[in-house]
Amino acid sequence: MVKDFQSLTNFQLDALREIGNIGAGNAATALSELIGERVDMGVPHIDVRHFSEVPEIVGGPESFVAGIYIKISGSAPGEILLLFPVEDAKQLLYILLKEHSILSRQAFDQLECSALMELGNILAGSFLNALATMTSLKYIPYVPGFCADMAGAILGAVLHDLGIMGDHVLYIKTDLRFQANKHVGGYLFFLPEAESLETILNTLGVNS
């Protein structure tokens, strides 16, 4: 029984890291096909942190980011959050839509929001497909939500679902970098609920 995220063993964390690796690999391939460029993926980082520490992972609570949030229901509920620094999101949109005006504005118009939500949809779908194959569980992604604002504000809105359980969050974070411009990239967070973690570990046979 996973009483709390902090009680996970290294073996269990390794198993989860591997899931993150394959899931994010799938997502990176999907992104690469979508934008027609190579996408490099960092080694997935798995960690358990107190809520108050999470915004620091993405550059501090006030950093201006674009977030695409996908709730997951099914047999192991959780959340996927894609975060891009705003300038990186704009670069990504420029690659997708080839409109110069995208880069001259800080705000996101309706087309840009839709494009990023669809991108989130595709990435989350490919991440979850990999997860479903490995765990034989059913994951149902909701329609994505989009928001560009302070990282702390976005994370707060995403973490409250997990806050009912405890004060810590387990996340698997993967850096995505574009080959054409290595400075452009974002993060993919997979945030399982505590009970889902139990379910996932069981199917992987690593729940002691």
CB nearer to another protein: give 57 or 206.
Answer: 57
Residue 40 beta carbon to another protein: minimum distance, rounded to whole angstroms: 29
CB nearer to another protein: give 95 or 147.
Answer: 147
57, with CB counted inside 10 A (0-12, 13-18, 19+), is: middle
61-91 as b/e, with b when 16 or more CB fall inside 10 Å? beeebbbbbbbbeeebbbbbbbbbbbebbbb
1 scored as a contact of another protein (CB under 8 A) = no
146 scored as a contact of another protein (CB under 8 A) = yes
125 scored as a contact of another protein (CB under 8 A) = no
Among left, alpha and beta (phi > 0; psi -120 to 50; other), residue 96 is alpha
Tell me which DSSP letter residue 43 carries.
P
Among 43, 138, 163, 181, binds another protein (CB under 8 A): 163
Among 45, 166, 175, 206, binds another protein (CB under 8 A): 166
d(CA 155, CA 161): 11
Q: Within positions 44 to 63, which residues make up the interface with another protein, using CB under 8 A? A: 50-55, 60-62
Q: Within positions 69 to 98, which residues make up the interface with another protein, using CB under 8 A? A: 69
d(CA 7, CA 13): 10
d(CA 56, CA 85): 13
Residue 147 beta carbon to another protein: minimum distance, rounded to whole angstroms: 5
Binding site for another protein (CB under 8 A): 50-55, 60-62, 64, 69, 106-107, 142-143, 145-147, 149-157, 159-160, 163-167
